[in-house]
Amino acid sequence: MRLAVVTMVLLGVQLSVARAAPSDGIVNVTASETTYRYAIHGTLPKYLFTLKWSHDRPVEIAIATERSPTRIQQHIPVPGTNLGAPGDHERPSVLETADYNFDGYEDLRLESSSGTGVTFWDIWLFDGAKKQFVHSPLLSNLPSPMPDAKQHWIETSSIDGGGAYFSKSYFRWRNKSVHVVRIEDADRRQDQGRRSDPAYRPRTPTRRGLHGRLRR
């Protein structure tokens, strides 16, 4: 075996090593641009999203496909955002995709602000017929919205009062709008000072089912 290996080296034979395909997320970073690559749908080429920065603030998203990277299909002006902290242009979670309306196409979200226990994103829904991303003011006003493909609902959450108040809401789509179907609330102030008690059990959130429409 050793002789065979030595012979291959002497003959200049090079063994090719298979490399894994590059993963989605950030694929290029400069001082003025951050480019992300994401799969939107299995029938479409992967999309490239170039977030352009000016004076440490994002100003535009230029959208192309990996198949035609120089052909910009859509320019999206960036609404107001709190981004601009050191390292934001290198943070993968600034711009991501997720299927918010459960149509099989990934949608686009850009972090607009974040704080203790809550994050807001500007969200654009992908129009499969027009191959365009359409801004959704409705979803962009929800706190920390996370789609649940199994339950077919959007879960939101928020924490207020230094962590004392905790709330979750669940929304489902109906007639191109989202409707509240359940809310969970908890007031953690009532648990304070009792954790040393051996009989202490954390309070379970109160739940109430709703059928209210989220107004635009």
Among residues 99, 117, 138, which one ends one of the domains?
A: 138
Q: Are residues 75 and 33 in the same domain?
A: yes
Q: What is the pTM of this model?
A: 0.77
In a domain, 3, yes or no: no
In a domain, 7, yes or no: no
Q: How far apart are the first and last CA of the chain?
A: 72
| DSSP string of 73-126, one letter each residue | -EEEE--S----STTGGG-GGGEEEE-SS-SSS-EEEEEEEEETTEEEEEEEEE
Which structural domain, as residue segments, surrounds residue 52?
A: 21-138
Q: Are residues 42 and 131 in the same domain?
A: yes
Q: Has residue 151 got a pLDDT over 90?
A: yes
Q: Are residues 134 and 214 in the same domain?
A: no
In a domain, 166, yes or no: yes
| Predicted confidence band of residue 166 (pLDDT cuts 50, 70, 90) | confident
Give the total number of structural domains in the chain.
2
Among residues 138, 154, 186, which one ends one of the domains?
A: 138
Among residues 103, 120, 138, which one ends one of the domains?
A: 138
Q: Are residues 212 and 153 in the same domain?
A: yes
| Predicted confidence band of residue 117 (pLDDT cuts 50, 70, 90) | confident
Task: Yes or no: say if 105 and 126 are a contact pair by the CB < 8 Å rule.
Answer: yes
User: Between these two residues, 193 and 167, which has the higher pLDDT value?
Assistant: 167
User: Between these two residues, 206 and 34, which has the higher pLDDT value?
Assistant: 34
Q: Are residues 71 and 152 in the same domain?
A: no
pLDDT at 22: 52
